[in-house]
Every structure is written in structure tokens, then in C-alpha cells.
Amino acid sequence: MAAAVIVVISVFFLKGFIEKEILEIRQAQYPLKYMDSVEKYSEEYGVDKYLLLSLIKTESGFDPAAVSSVEAIGLTQITDITFDWIKSKMRPEEEYVFEDLFDPDTSIRFGAYYISRCLDRYSGDKDTAMAAYHSGWGTVDGLLEEYETEILTEFPYPQMANYVYKINKAYSAYQELYVNTEGEN
């Protein structure tokens, strides 16, 4: 009888240990990096901080020195053309240059602003906004016109579909790992 109790207690503690290890591994896969900037700019521009983290994870894997095949740079992978547009809308008097996007705070600021504009343009629909972040407003506007709809529910281009899938996967993971455990809504 005592041996059975010891086995039950051991299994209980082992289960708790394994669950804790799995949680730590998952949190390492979906980290809360650059949170001062993420929280500051998500609040300033009205963007869900977990959506912003999902974007950073998907775009750069949290590497501030990331450069894409189309020369998008920084944590939020912004191109020089998009940078110039954001700068002209956000604060044209500020003396930023494209390479400033390698600075995490600057990249997060510009990325959060751009996400907020995408969300505003597409009535707050996360999937359509993220498709636009990835493929551009012109591409998304053309699809909306073609499909005669206000939001996208399907993504005809494989890269766009994969991107929206990755954003949603990361967003779900952040929700599961942090929102539910922090008691946030």
C-alpha cells in the first residue's frame, strides 16, 4: 500500500515537472522579447501586443539584424519604400534613415504603426491586415475587388497564405501561453 502511494505521488510530481518543462520550451519558442518597446508602441498605436510579437517572430525570428531577400530589414522587416511612406505619415520631421530600422525600438515603432494602418484600412480584420502587411495594400485591394468582399477569407497566393497561417499560429500560441496564464482577455 505504501509503495502504491509513493508511485502515485511520484507520478504526480513527474507529471508536474514534465508540464513545466514543456511550458518553458514553448515559451522559449514564443518569447516575450523587447517588451518595453512592444508594450509602448502597441498601446500608442492600438495594436494587440501579441499580434505585434507574432509579427516580429514571423518576420525576423527576433533578429534585429535580419535582412530579407527583398531587402526588408529589422525586427519587423520593412522595405525602404514602406519605410519612406511610414515616415512621411508618422512624423516626417523626425530624422530617421532606413538603416535605423536595425534598432529594435525603431523597427517595432514603425511596424506597430504600419500594422495599425493596415488594421484601420481593413476594418480591423487581422487576416486581411496581415496579408496587406506582407503583400501590400495594392495586392490586397485588388483581391478584395476581384472577390467583391471587404475582407479576405482565402488567400490565393501560396506565400500570402503561408504568411497569414504563420501569423495566426504564433498569435494562437501567444494567446495560449501568456493571455490565459496572465488572466488577460
Same-domain pairing of 59 and 121: yes
The percent of residues above 90 in pLDDT, for the chain, comes to 79
Average pLDDT for 85-110: 95
Give me the residues paired with residue 78 across strands.
Answer: 73
- Beta-carbon contacts of residue 10 (< 8 Å; ≥ 6 apart): none
Supply the pLDDT for residue 6: 57
Supply the pLDDT for residue 96: 94
Q: Is the pLDDT of residue 153 over 50?
A: yes
Q: Is the pLDDT of residue 85 over 70?
A: yes
Supply the pLDDT for residue 20: 77
Write down the mean pLDDT value for the chain: 91
User: In total, how many domains does the chain have?
Assistant: 2
Same-domain pairing of 10 and 41: no
- Domain that residue 9 falls in: 1-30
Same-domain pairing of 79 and 109: yes
Using 50, 70 and 90 to split pLDDT, how confident is the model at 4?
Answer: low
Same-domain pairing of 6 and 43: no
Supply the pLDDT for residue 179: 85
Same-domain pairing of 54 and 118: yes
From the list 124, 129, 121, 118, the residue with the least C-alpha distance to 155 is 129
Task: Round to whole Å and give the CA distance between 74 and 102.
Answer: 5
Same-domain pairing of 51 and 110: yes
